[in-house]
C-alpha cells in the first residue's frame, strides 16, 4: 500500500472536483445512476444480514462493499460531489462557477435518486413475489425503518429536526473521509481498506445518508411503511441533504484544503537556515 502525502491527495481532490464540474450531462447522470443503484443494493444487503443474524454490527461491517465498488468504478454520489466540487471554485480553476457547481449537484441528485428508486422497486418485487403476498421479514424491516426515521423524528418536533440534521452532518463527515481516504493510496487494496473504516462507522451509528435514504424510504413506502411521501422529503431527505452538504464540505473539504492546499505562513521561520541560532548562541 503506497501512501500519498496530504498535499498530493488534496491536489487530487481539487482535480477531481474540476473534472466533475465539466463532465457532460450524459456521463454525470449515468455515473450517478449507477452509484445510487449499487449503494442501494449494498443497503438492502446490510438490512438482510441484520434481519437474518439479529446483529446490526455484521450488516455494518459488510455494507461498505457497495461503496468500494462504486468508487473503484468511477461512479458519483451526491455526498462526494458536495465535498470535492466546491474545492475547484475555491482554487479558482478556470471556468468553474457557482452555477456549474449547482448544475453538477442537481444532475447527481437526479441520477442517484433514479438509481436508488430502481433498486427499491426491484427489492420490493423480490420480497413480495411481485406484490402478490405480504412482505417477508426483510420487507417488513424496510417498512419499519422508513416509519421510524420520518415520523419518529416528526414526533420530536424541532428537536427531531435538529437531530436529523446533525446525523446528516456526521454521516458525510465520515463518508467524505472515505472518499478522500481512497486517494491516500495508489493500490486497490489500500483504497479498499481506507474506505471501509469510515463507511462502516457511519452505517453502524445510524447516521443519515441522503443516497441510502433514496432507497430505504421509497422501498419502505412500497412495503407498507406508515408514512407519506411528504414525510419522507420534509422529515428526512431535505434535512439530510443539507446536513450532508455541511458535514462533507466543512469537516473534510474545507479543512483539508485550508491546511494542505492553502497553508498558512509559518511564524518566525528564518528565510535562510544559516540565520537560525539557538537562544544561547544569540545571547553570546
Average pLDDT value for the chain: 94
Give all domains of the chain, ordered by start, each with its CATH number. Answer: 6-261 (1.20.1080.10)
Q: Which three cell numbers stand for residue 144?
A: 419499519
Helices and strands in the chain: count of H runs, count of E runs = 15, 0
Could you identify the residue written with the cell 471556468?
95
pLDDT in tens, 205-233: 999 999 999 999 999 999 999 999 999 99
More confident of the two residues 268 and 119 = 119
Q: Which of 162, 158, 196, 229 is nearest to 69 (CA)?
A: 196
The fraction of the chain above a pLDDT of 70, given in percent, is 92
pTM, whole model, 2 decimals? Answer: 0.92
Q: Which three cell numbers stand for residue 197?
A: 473504516
Which CB contacts under 8 angstroms, 24+ apart, belong to 15-18? 16/84, 16/183, 17/81, 17/84, 17/85, 17/86, 17/87, 17/88, 17/93, 18/88, 18/91, 18/93, 18/96
Paired with 274 in beta bridges are: none
pLDDT at 2 over 70: yes
Q: Give the pLDDT confidence score for residue 284 in this predicted structure.
A: 41
pLDDT in tens, 64-87: 999 999 999 999 999 999 999 999
Q: Give the pLDDT confidence score for residue 267 in this predicted structure.
A: 61
Q: Hey, how many other C-beta atoms are within 10 angstroms of the C-beta on 161?
A: 15
pLDDT at 252 over 90: yes
Q: Give the pLDDT confidence score for residue 263 in this predicted structure.
A: 79
pLDDT in tens, 93-116: 999 999 999 999 999 999 999 999
DSSP element (H, E) containing 109: helix 98-126
Q: Give the pLDDT confidence score for residue 82 in this predicted structure.
A: 98
Give CA–CA dist 182/192, Å, rounded: 7
Give CA–CA dist 224/273, Å, rounded: 71
Q: How confident is residue 283, by pLDDT bands cut at 50, 70 and 90?
A: very low
pLDDT in tens, 152-206: 999 999 999 999 999 999 999 999 999 999 999 999 999 999 999 999 999 999 9
Amino acid at each position: 500500500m503506497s501512501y500519498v502525502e496530504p498535499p498530493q491527495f488534496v491536489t487530487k481532490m481539487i482535480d477531481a472536483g474540476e473534472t466533475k464540474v465539466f463532465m457532460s450531462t450524459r456521463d454525470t447522470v449515468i455515473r450517478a445512476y449507477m452509484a445510487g443503484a449499487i449503494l442501494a443494493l449494498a443497503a438492502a444487503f446490510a438490512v438482510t444480514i441484520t434481519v437474518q443474524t439479529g446483529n446490526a454490527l455484521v450488516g455494518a461491517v459488510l455494507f461498505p462493499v457497495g461503496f468500494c465498488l462504486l468508487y473503484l468504478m468511477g461512479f458519483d454520489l451526491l455526498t462526494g460531489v458536495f465535498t470535492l466540487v466546491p474545492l475547484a471554485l475555491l482554487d479558482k480553476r478556470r471556468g468553474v462557477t457557482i452555477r456549474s457547481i449547482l448544475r453538477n449537484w442537481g444532475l447527481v441528485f437526479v441520477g442517484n435518486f433514479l438509481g436508488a428508486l430502481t433498486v427499491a422497486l426491484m427489492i420490493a418485487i423480490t420480497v413480495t413475489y411481485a406484490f402478490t403476498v405480504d412482505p417477508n421479514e426483510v420487507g417488513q424491516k424496510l417498512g419499519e425503518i422508513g416509519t421510524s426515521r420520518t415520523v419518529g423524528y416528526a414526533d420530536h418536533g424541532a428537536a427531531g429536526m435538529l437531530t436529523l440534521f446533525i446525523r446528516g452532518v456526521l454521516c458525510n463527515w465520515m463518508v467524505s473521509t472515505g472518499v478522500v481516504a481512497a486517494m491516500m493510496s495508489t493500490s486497490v487494496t489500500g483504497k479498499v481498506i481506507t474506505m471501509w473504516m469510515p463507511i462502516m462507522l457511519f452505517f453502524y451509528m445510524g447516521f443519515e445518508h441522503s443516497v441510502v435514504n433514496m432507497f430505504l424510504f421509497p422501498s419502505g413506502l412500497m412495503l407498507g411503511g406508515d408514512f407519506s411521501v411528504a414525510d419522507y422529503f420534509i422529515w428526512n431527505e431535505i434535512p439530510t441533504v443539507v446536513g450532508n452538504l455541511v458535514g462533507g464540505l466543512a469537516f473534510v473539504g474545507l479543512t483539508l484544503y485550508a491546511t494542505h492546499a492553502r497553508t498558512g505562513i509559518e511564524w518566525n521561520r528564518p528565510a535562510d537556515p544559516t540565520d537560525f541560532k539557538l537562544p544561547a548562541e544569540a545571547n553570546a
